[in-house]
A and B are shown apart, each in its own frame.
Chain A
Amino acid sequence: DVKVTQSSRYLVKRTGEKVFLECVQDMDHENMFWYRQDPGLGLRLIYFSYDVKMKEKGDIPEGYSVSREKKERFSLILESASTNQTSMYLCASSLVNMGYNQPQHFGDGTRLSIL
């Protein structure tokens, strides 16, 4: 089974801090994704990556950046955390498309609180 591991289940940080969320997958997937999930808003895509060092903006990239130095690891960075970034963050990975989107495999999420 594919395993996507997020480094923390719960995290509390202060406004203005630089925050790193880490995600590691063990199935050699090309694609990796970062989402945030808020009540009533569903999942919104922040950034995704289709290869090492490659990244693309999702729907809500403002205030975030990402890093993918190795195929298995995709990091989400909050450059200067703000209270409106308090949310559940979900990482996912998938194989490259083969004519249609491959299923995404999710980690258990990081519940981030910014005080």
Chain B
Amino acid sequence: SQQGEEDPQALSIQEGENATMNCSYKTSINNLQWYRQNSGRGLVHLILIRSNEREKHSGRLRVTLDTSKKSSSLLITASRAADTASYFCATGGGTSYGKLTFGQGTILTVHP
């Protein structure tokens, strides 16, 4: 069963603009992770935020988590054409041997 649902399904922006992707989930979580997938490749881990954290930064990435609304957002600032990829959120319960539940992803296209 799918836990996370990303919104929007697709996003098209110009280089230099900010990109915001949202993720909603249904059950309580221990942590939430964001991954990136370039076309035809595997997923690459971007950032992890624990349930007791509200915001986290990594370079041009900013992730927020609102456990009361069961939602998270990923902001990519000053986007580049190389940021073009699919982005997935994944939720973990902290147990179950590391099992994550992935959403369906947001396809981001950044035009030069």
Contacts and interface: CB of A to CB of B under 8 A. Distances in A.
Interface of B: 1-2, 30-31, 33, 35, 40-45, 48, 50, 88, 90, 92-95, 97-105
Interface residues of A, number: 33
Contact of B50 (A35, A43, A100, A104): A100
Nearest to A42: B104
B30 to A, nearest CB: 5
Interface in A1-17: 4
Interface of A: 4, 30-31, 33, 35, 40-43, 45, 48, 50, 56, 58-59, 90, 92, 94-97, 99-109, 111
Given A31-B98, A99-B94, A104 B105 contact: no
A84 B1 CA distance: 19
